[in-house]
Structure 1
Amino acid sequence: MPVGDHFRELRGRLLRSFLVFAAIFITSLFFYDPLLNLVMEPYNDARIALGESVETRPYVSGATGPLMLYLKLCGVASLVAASPYWLYQIWAFIVPGLHSKEKKWSRLFAAVAGPLFIFGVLTAYYVLPKGLEVLISFTPDSMESLVEFGEYFSFLSRMLLVFGISFEIPLFVVMLSLAGVVSGKQLGKIRPWLVLGTFIFAAVATPSTDPMSMLSLAIPMTFLFLGAEIVARFIDKVRAKKAIPEYADDEVSAI
């Protein structure tokens, strides 16, 4: 396909993705209250857990703050809700240029990547109340904790994104094994360093400073890395079995 046709195809897919996003965004404007309750639930749970030990309440700053809150919340929700469609458009644009073997690997990646990302996001959402509780508990007794919603929403978004992307990293390891870049034996040799690096990464990557959030990210990632190593060793065995008959055929031909 000529380069101009590729650009026209890309423009068409981007336009369709934008129209779907716009339609979902307009719809989400009518569901603002449920979305706000969903976003505020971790904070409300943390406030309940703190009880009377710390006085805390959320607020919106500035004259345009409520409007920006409205648009930002609906925009992020629409982007997430439309993700299956725009991810499919990216997939449909890339696939025609792949070989059959690469298509098979990319289908595997597409099938597993989504559930792993959602699992990471749900894990972050589950540990958020505890993380917020620890952070707000540092408020001195003589002061009241005022949580600005824009800052809180950015914190929540970063937390969900970090967990979601981090849970994808072991999948990339499996893809590298399928591509022949790393082997299960190599992963076994560096396993202690992978575990140590996972805990260091979790400590640095989590926006929250509490150990609960760090462990909630590090422990599942460690098990996912161990699972990736098992899959990589299985791939190595399958690759070795396929290589033996080919080697035998080469010897027969030489004779």
Structure 2
Amino acid sequence: MALKEHLIELRNRLFVALVALFLATVGGFFLYQPVLQILIAPVNAMGGEVNFGSVISPFDNMIKISVFLGLVMSSPVWLYELWAFIVPGLKKNEKRTALAFIGASVPLFVFGLGLAYWVLPHALTFFLGLTPTQATNIVEVDTYLNFVIRLLLAFGVALIVPVLMVGLNLVGILPGKVIVKNWRITVFLICLVAAMAAPGGDALTMFALAGPLLVVFAAATGFCVLHDKRKAKRLAALEAENAATAGNASDIDTL
């Protein structure tokens, strides 16, 4: 498509994704209280306290958590719109690939959120452990929720990338040999992203994110390489069959 058509496509995809996000955010308001209790539970378990530092802080954080929940609940929609923008004009088999992409991405996104929540107490142990014994750590809820939401989203989004790699390989955009050729750069970027996502440079959080990412990346790379080999064999067999058919037709014409 021309640049103008790409921009129109992007606008339409963004509009659909934002509408889905808005509707899911409205639903997130009804889940605000239980989700907030779940998010602050690790602080309470560590003996800390969460403090609302201003009059409007509860309302601000209600919006923040609702948008976060909206992002999670609308993930099937915005993930599909992302895929449809990257691979426009889907054919029938590519539409099946898109559905498979969504079917794998959403569970991995949710798994990443769960993994981040599992890591959260370990990160809090490190940070709250630095509090002097004669002091009480009263955590500002704004700062804490920013920290938690960033951690959750970093884990969730990071686990989608390998699935995106496989999807792009299936539709012929990303060959496996390109991934293998640049594996060192990819491993470095994974570790870099994990280090940036780890709050305060916490090593445990970094390894907890980098480990599953490297495993999923290795599995995705292996799948892409095997898929390319099978595709090459099918093409070679088809070319041999066509050559044999053409040779037989030539012999008949000669007779």
TM-score above 0.5 = yes
Q: What are the ranges of 5 or more consecutive residues in structure 2 without an aligned counterpart? A: 251-255
Describe how 1:4-153 pairs up with structure 2 within 5 A.
17=20, 20-21=23-24, 24-25=27-28, 28=30, 31-45=31-45, 47-48=46-47, 56-84=48-76, 86-87=77-78, 90=81, 97-141=89-133, 143-153=135-145
Change (3 A) 1:175 1:75: closer
Residues paired across the two proteins, number: 240
1:165 aligned to 157, 161, 164, which one? 157
Contact 1:177 1:232 in 2 (8 A): yes
Contact 1:162 1:206 in 2 (8 A): no
What do you get for the CA RMSD once the two structures are aligned?
3.5
Q: What are the ranges of 5 or more consecutive residues in structure 1 without an aligned counterpart? A: 49-55
Q: Which amino acid aligns with 2:55?
A: A
Q: 1: distance between equivalents of 2:160 and 2:32?
A: 30
User: How big is the shift at 1:77?
Assistant: 3.0
Change (3 A) 1:18 1:130: closer
- Give the aligned partner of residue 196 of structure 2: 204
User: How big is the shift at 1:32?
Assistant: 4.3
- Give the aligned partner of residue 224 of structure 2: 232
RCO comparison, higher one (Cα < 8 Å, 6+): 1
Contact 2:75 2:106 in 1 (8 A): no
> Identical aligned pairs, as a percentage?
28
User: How big is the shift at 1:175?
Assistant: 2.1
Alignment TM-score, normalising by the size of structure 2: 0.77
Change (3 A) 1:185 1:13: closer
Contact 1:170 1:224 in 2 (8 A): yes
- Give the aligned partner of residue 244 of structure 1: 236
